[in-house]
Structure 1
Amino acid sequence: MRTNVTVTVAPHGEGATRLLAPVGLPTPHQIPVGFEVSGGGVALTGESTTGQMAALISAEAGAPVEVRYSYLDGGPGYPEAVFTQHCNRFTRAARDLVYDAINIADATADGHAAIAALVNAAAEKFRYAHPEVRFNDGCEEVPYLACGQTEGSCVDINTYLIASLRAAGLEAGYVTGYFFPQEKNGCCDDMHCWVVTRHKGVVLEWDIAHHLKMGTREICCGLNPKPGDRVAVAHSMGLTFPELGVTCEKLIGEPVWVCGGKLEKAEVTITREIVERAEAAA
């Protein structure tokens, strides 16, 4: 089966002409096999921290840009770079968070149980929302959330989870992409993210935010507790693009405008089409 995703970017109101877009990421479930752009020229630019490549798109003035991805079912797994730890303000745990993560992990029977315990501990810290001010804004490390529940999106929740897992010495990676809810018939509003862990060669995937949206705090491994499907486009936090003068950017998911060394959110429309293998080959 082939999954085609189209991201349409509206023109920038103030005349920015360059877009930065991820080019797709293989997972155990899919492999990217196509990347095309209309409405602008394309060159590749490198991310120096993780070694990822991204597309730098020179948009035609006043015209929308279409970024099109194609994926086939059955992938080789997540790249090794997903699990590589890079210490920056989005991944570095504050001292109290380190202590808490280690204590939680040490109270479990083994690494697999420690991962599950830290996932569920992170879920207890958050109430799903999209706050204007994020819990780690202005911080040089990921702060410990001591009591109560903090409003947070998938980005916020997974920032806390990644910092917790790595503080306990466990392998974990942060993945960005698009999730298409079943009820929206092939449309979504923006990017989504999830966490992958690896212990003794076993890779598991976790989506706390979707469990919370479904009204449960009993978090199980596996994707799509909320019915739908997804594609991955990039990974990791704290990204640097030397050619663009962009340093320690939180993440890349949707295409973003490049404005003087900063990345600015674009107005996008995201759609998905699923094509059966026989039809795709015709």
Structure 2
Amino acid sequence: MGERSVLVEAVGDVAVIGLNRPESLNALNTHLLTELVEALREVQSCGAIVIQGEGRAFCAGEDLNETLAPETGTADELRVAFGQLQDLTRLMSGASCPVVSAIHGYAIGGGAEIAVTADFVIAGPGARLKFPEAVIGHAPTGGITARLPLLVGALRAKDLLLTGRWVDAQEGLDIGLFTEIHESPKVRALALATELASYPRRSQAAVKRAVELALVPAQETYLQLEIDLASYCFESAETEASFDAFRNRKRLSANS
């Protein structure tokens, strides 16, 4: 398959996971999803986890130049990919150790969901985040419709999810999407993760579990609902037309 789409490095008791499709701004395709799920499953026993992106961005969301159902193009295959996206949420929120995301450049759609599902979100000064699914005929699939209202409030969540607008680093900090802004988010994320990994594991796990249960006690119900809604949206001719328009814009931009 060539170079791996996800890199894993042990730094002391910290597992550093790097999204590794820099030429595509780490956009999500089936290879990256599969490898990221595998990586998160393999590092659950670490003291802390860092998730970051290689190259110029954290993650530009779903790669609309490819498909999440490359073998058959069927709804059943697509639901498998949706399930992998949701496994990321389960593995990050359910990990007994703290998870820290380091956000530089873009974090879009599914990439933004991965970013803010972490327990600590360190943003670079130039970080920009958005949830564009409803604007392009899609629907979120990583549990963000449940988590975002609790992070930023219901009206702000509707604003971000229904308009798909950009959120810069300072606004993200102000409204509670980011833990802090740091000039070097990867450096800060590793330093914080190293500190967290030095604390008693049982206490860290217990407190995290209690907060997660208070935050989204019915997470599985929301995840199932999102799969149903995303599948429904993908069946729409509007969605296909929107995706085609996006691909055509990319081609025109590349040829201009």
- Fold match, TM over 0.5? no
Q: TM-score, normalised by structure 1?
A: 0.23
Q: TM-score, normalised by structure 2?
A: 0.24
Larger helix fraction of residues: 2
Q: Give the number of the structure with larger relative contact order, counting CA–CA contacts within 8 Å between residues 6 or more apart.
A: 1
Larger radius of gyration between Structure 1 and Structure 2: 1
